Amino acid sequence: MKSTHAFKADHITAGYDQTTILHDVNVSIPSNKISIIIGANGCGKSTLLKTMARLIKPVSGQVTIGGKPIHKIPSKQLARVLGLLPQTPIVPEGITVADLVGRGRFPHQKFLKGWSKEDYEAVSEAMEIMNITEFADRHIDELSGGQRQRVWIAMALAQQTDILFLDEPTTYLDITYQVEILDLLTDLNRKYGTTIVMVLHDINLSARYADHIFALHEGQLVAEGQPSKIVTSSLIESIFGLHCTVINDPISGSPYVIPIGRHHSKLRKHS
Amino acid sequence: MIKPSIYPILSGRTKRKRRFLFVTTLLSVIAFALCSTMLMLGNTIYPVSDVVRVLLGEQVSGASFAVGTIRLPRMLAGVFAGFAFGVAGHVFQTMLRNPLANPNVIGITAGSSAAAVFSIIVLQASNTFTSIASIVGGLVTVTVIFLLSRSTSFSVGRLILIGIGIQAMLNAIVSYLLMIGQQHDIPTAMRWLTGSLNGAKMEGLYPLILTVLIFAPIIIALGKRLDMLELGEQAATSLGVDTDRTRLFLVVSSVLIIALATAVTGPIAFIAFLSGPIAKRLVGAGFSGIVPAGLVGIILVLASDLVGQFAFTARYPVGVITGIIGAPYLIYLLIRMNQKGDL
C-alpha cells in the first residue's frame, strides 16, 4: 500500500511570464484517492497541476508535502514520491517500449549504474498493469494512440511514486480508450492506494471516476468535494457558463451533466 | 529470486546491450587501426615495429622525426578533435531534439573562424595568439546567440534561426577579410575555413587534450540525464532531473571542447553534424550514444584525412573530404525532415 502524504498548496498565486493565472488557491490533496480538477479552458487546471508538481514556480505561496516545501526537497528524492505525466511528452527517436518505461526508473537509479533487479521488476510490473508486456521490444512509433498512452502511464508507474499526477491523460483518445485508461488508473488506486490527481476535460467521466473534485473558475477554487455533492447544474453553469440539467448516471449513479443548448429540447419550458 | 515476468524485458534489453557493446568495441578497433595507419603511412612507410619503438621514446633514424614530430601530432589532433566534434554534436542534437542543431548552428565555428582570420590578416598575430583569439571568438559568439534567442521563453527554432543569421554575418566578414588580406596570409587563413590537420604540433595540442580529458568525462557522466532531457522539459523534471543545471553543464562542457578543437584543426566540416546520427543508427536507442558518437567522429576525421592525403594526386585538407561526405547527408536530412513536416 502506498504511503499517505499531507500534500498541500498554500495560497498559491502562479502563472506564466507576466500573466497570473491562479489567484490565491488553497488545495489539500486527499491521500490514496482519485482527485480530478475540472474547469473551463484557461481556468488554471493545468497550471495548478504543474505548480503542485514543481514544474511552475509560484509567484507567491508554497506547495508542501509532509509540511516541507517541495522546492526544498532534492529533485530526485521528490521524484520518488511525486510523479507527473505531462500532456505531451516527447518520444525519443527509435526507442523501444521497455526502454521508455525504464526511463521512469531514473529517480531510483544510482549515478552511472545500469538497471538493477528492482528496475527490471518495476518495469515489468508497470507494463503488466498497463497491459503492454507484449509490446516490450516494439518501437513507440508503431503503436496506436491508446497503446502509446498506456506506455506513458507505465513509465510513470515504473517511477513507483505514492502520488501520480496526470495532465489530461485521455485527450486525443477515442471514448473506448478513455474509459480503458480511467479504469486502469482506478485499478491502480484501488489496488495500491496510489494518490491520483488529474485534469480531465470530460465532466461526466470526471464525475464518475473522481472521489474528489476540485472545480476551478478563473484561477480560483470555487468548489470541492465528492462529485455527488458538488456537481450540480448551478455549479456547471457558473464555471462553464453552460445551461444544463444534471441527472444520475444510470450505470454509476454519479451526477451526469446534460447540456440544454438552443435546439432539440423536448421540454417546453425548463425550470 | 528473480521473477519470471521480467524475462521478456531482460532478454530484449540484454540483446540491445550486446549490440551496443559490440558496435562500440568495433568502432574502437576501427579507430585504433586508423590511428596506427596514420602513424605508418606517409612519404615513407614505416613498419609497426619502428612506430612502436618511436612511441616508446627510442631514436630511430628517419622514423623518429617523421612519426614522432609530424605524424603523431597529426594523428592526435585528429583523434581529440574528432572525438570533441562527435561528442559535442551529439549533445546539441539530443538536447535540442533536432538533427540540424550542431555547433555550427550555434555559431561557435563561425565565431572561431572569423576571429582567427581577423587575427591573421588584420593583426598579423602569432599562431598562439590566433588560437586564443579563435577560442574567445567562438565562446563570445555562442554567448551572443544564446542571449539573443532567450527572450521570454527558450525556443530551439529561434536559436537555430538566430544562429544561421549570425553565421551568415560572420561568413561575410571572413570573405571581406580574405579580399583585403595580403597574398601570403591567405593560405594560413584558409585553414580556418576548411579545417585541416596539417601543421599540428605537439605543444599546440596540450590545451585541447587537457580540455577533452576534463570535460568529456563530465559529458559522459551526464549521459543518462541528457537522454532524459529528450522526453521534454516537464517529463524530465518530473522524473527528478535538474534540467537547468544539467543543460548548463552540458552546454559549457561541449562548447569548451569544441572551441579548443576548432583552435587546433579549424572547423572540420560536418563531423559534429554526422557523427551522432551515424552512431545512433549503429548502436540503436536505449543506451547513451555519447561515446559511440565520439568514436565515429574520430573515425570520420582520420579516414577522411587519410583519403585527403593519399587517395588523390594532390593533397586535400581533411575538411574538404568531410565536406564532400557531409553535404549529401545534409540534403538527405532536409528532404526527410521536410517529408515528416519537421521543418
Average pLDDT over residues A106-133: 89
Nearest to A117 among B2, B152, B238 (CB): B2
Average pLDDT over residues B144-171: 81
CA distance B33 to B29: 6
> In the predicted model, is pLDDT for residue A270 greater than 80?
no
User: CB–CB of A43/A220 below 8 Å?
Assistant: no
Cβ under 8 Å to B: A residues 69-108: 75-80, 82-86, 88-90, 92-96, 98-99, 102-104, 106-107
> In the predicted model, is pLDDT for residue B88 greater than 90?
yes
Confidence of residue A15 (pLDDT cuts 50, 70, 90): confident
Dihedral Cα A89, A95, A101, A103, nearest 10 deg: -80
Mark yes or no for CB contact A159/B9 under 8 Å: no
User: CB–CB of A108/A118 below 8 Å?
Assistant: yes
> What residues of B are in contact with residue A125 (Cβ under 8 Å)?
5
Amino acid A157: pLDDT: 92
The residues pairing with A213 across neighbouring beta strands, listed in sequence order, are A36, A225
pLDDT tens profile B167-225: 889 989 988 998 888 888 888 888 788 888 887 888 889 999 999 999 999 999 999 99
Amino acid A229: pLDDT: 94
> In the predicted model, is pLDDT for residue B90 greater than 90?
yes
pLDDT tens profile A157-170: 999 999 999 999 99
Residue tagged 498559491 (cell numbers): A12
Mark yes or no for CB contact B232/A90 under 8 Å: yes
Amino acid B55: pLDDT: 87
Amino acid A34: pLDDT: 96
pLDDT tens profile B131-141: 889 889 988 99
The DSSP symbol for B286 reads S
Residue tagged 572551441 (cell numbers): B259
User: CB–CB of B286/A96 below 8 Å?
Assistant: yes
Which positions in chain B have a beta carbon within 8 angstroms of at least one beta carbon in chain A? 2-3, 5-6, 8-10, 12-13, 16, 97, 152-153, 221, 224, 227-228, 230-235, 237-242, 280, 284-286
> In the predicted model, is pLDDT for residue A154 greater than 90?
yes
Confidence of residue B284 (pLDDT cuts 50, 70, 90): confident
> What residues of A are in contact with residue B234 (Cβ under 8 Å)?
50, 55, 84, 86, 89
Cβ under 8 Å to B: A residues 12-51: 17, 50
AA identity, residue B329: Y
pLDDT tens profile B231-245: 988 999 999 999 889
A vs B, Cβ pairs < 8 A, gives 108
Give A44's contacts (C-beta < 8 A, 6+ positions apart). Answer: A21, A22, A25, A216, A218, A219
Q: Provide the terminal-to-terminal Cα distance of chain A, rounded to the nearest Å.
A: 47
Nearest C-alpha neighbor of A229 from the set A251, A202, A210, A205: A210
Tell me which of B233, B239, B242, B342 to substitute to probe the interface with A (most A C-beta atoms closer than 10 Å).
B239
* CA A239, chain centre distance (Å): 20
> In the predicted model, is pLDDT for residue A73 greater than 80?
yes
- Asked which of A116-120, B17-21, B145-149, B263-267 is least confident by mean pLDDT, the reply is B145-149
Residue tagged 549515478 (cell numbers): A111
pLDDT tens profile A204-236: 999 999 999 999 999 999 999 999 999 999 999
Amino acid B342: pLDDT: 60
Amino acid A122: pLDDT: 92
Nearest C-alpha neighbor of B237 from the set A208, A171, A51: A51
Residues found in chain A: 271
Amino acid B154: pLDDT: 64
Amino acid B107: pLDDT: 79
CB atoms within 10 A of CB B292: 28
Amino acid A88: pLDDT: 85
Give percent of chain B with pLDDT exceeding 70: 97
> What residues of A are in contact with residue B239 (Cβ under 8 Å)?
79, 83, 103-104, 106-107, 159
Mark yes or no for CB contact A92/B8 under 8 Å: no
The residues pairing with A78 across neighbouring beta strands, listed in sequence order, are none
The DSSP symbol for A147 reads H
ipTM: 0.89
Amino acid B142: pLDDT: 86
Average pLDDT over residues A41-49: 91
Cell of B299: 573515425
Amino acid B343: pLDDT: 56
CB atoms within 10 A of CB B89: 30
Amino acid A269: pLDDT: 56
Confidence of residue B5 (pLDDT cuts 50, 70, 90): confident
Give percent of chain B with pLDDT exceeding 90: 36
> In the predicted model, is pLDDT for residue A271 greater than 60?
no
Cβ under 8 Å to B: A residues 138-157: none
Give B7's contacts (C-beta < 8 A, 6+ positions apart). Answer: none
Amino acid A268: pLDDT: 61
Average pLDDT over residues B320-327: 87
Mark yes or no for CB contact B284/A133 under 8 Å: no
